[in-house]
Amino acid sequence: MRAQAELLERQRLEKLAEMEARRTLEQLAHVSRVSALGELAASLAHELNQPLAAILSNAQAARRLLNATPAELDEVREALGDISSDSKRAGEVIHRMRALLKRGEPRQELHSLVEAHGGRLQAESPSGQGALLRCVLPAAHTESPP
């Protein structure tokens, strides 16, 4: 009875240790992802500043065009159209960044290389968490049977 209790206790501790180790690994992975994102942040800021610059210029241009006599309404319409698309573009940049920052469980997924067309395989995670796998194979390899 006592031996069994000891065994159970040891198993419990082992499991706990294993969970702890896994959690540490996940945290480590998260930290390394975040520091990589730190480097990414600069280029993301750049990506955001582009549409923001275009939006600001278009908005200030539109105000001038409306104040002109006669007001240049066609040009104002085009400016507003550009403002809409650049706002969407900025939104997409933020969306992508958020997806990258999201903390998720590490997953293992199987992808068939046979499905590759033209020697290229692209798999994007269906949950939109930003995982991107790109595999470029020499054309000769895709033609040979698995």
Partner 1 sequence: MTQAPATIFLVDDDESVLRGLGRLLRAAGHATKPFASPSEFLAQLSGDTPGCAVLDLRMPGLNGLELQQAMESKGCHLPVIFISGHGDVPASVRAMKAGAVDFLLKPFDEQHVLGAISQALLKDAAARAGRAETAALHARHAVLTPREREVCALVAQGLTNKEVAQRLGATEKTIKVHRARVIQKLDVDSVAELVRFVDRLGLR
Q: Is the dihedral of CA 4, 6, 10, 15 positive or negative?
A: positive
Q: Kindly tell me the number of DSSP H helices and DSSP E strands found in the chain.
A: 3, 2
Applying CB under 8 A, which of residues 26, 40, 75, 101 lies at the interface with partner 1? Answer: 75
Burial label, 130 (beta-carbon count in 10 A; 0-12, 13-18, 19+)? middle
CB-wise, 51 or 121, nearer to partner 1? 51
21 binds partner 1 (CB under 8 A): no
- Distance (Å, rounded) from C-alpha 78 to C-alpha 76? 5
89 touches partner 1 (CB under 8 A): yes
A 10 A CB-CB count for 21 gives 10
Among the listed ranges 12-20, 57-65, 92-100, 101-109, the one in contact with partner 1 (CB under 8 A) is 57-65
Q: Tell me how far, at minimum, the Cβ of 59 lies from partner 1, in Å.
A: 9
Report the nearest approach of partner 1 to the CB of residue 79 (Å): 6
Candidates 24, 32, 60, 127; binder of partner 1 (CB under 8 A) is 60
Q: How many CB atoms lie within 10 A of CB 8?
A: 10
Q: Which residues bind partner 1 (CB under 8 A)?
A: 42, 45-47, 49-58, 60-61, 64-65, 68, 72, 75, 78-79, 82, 85-86, 89
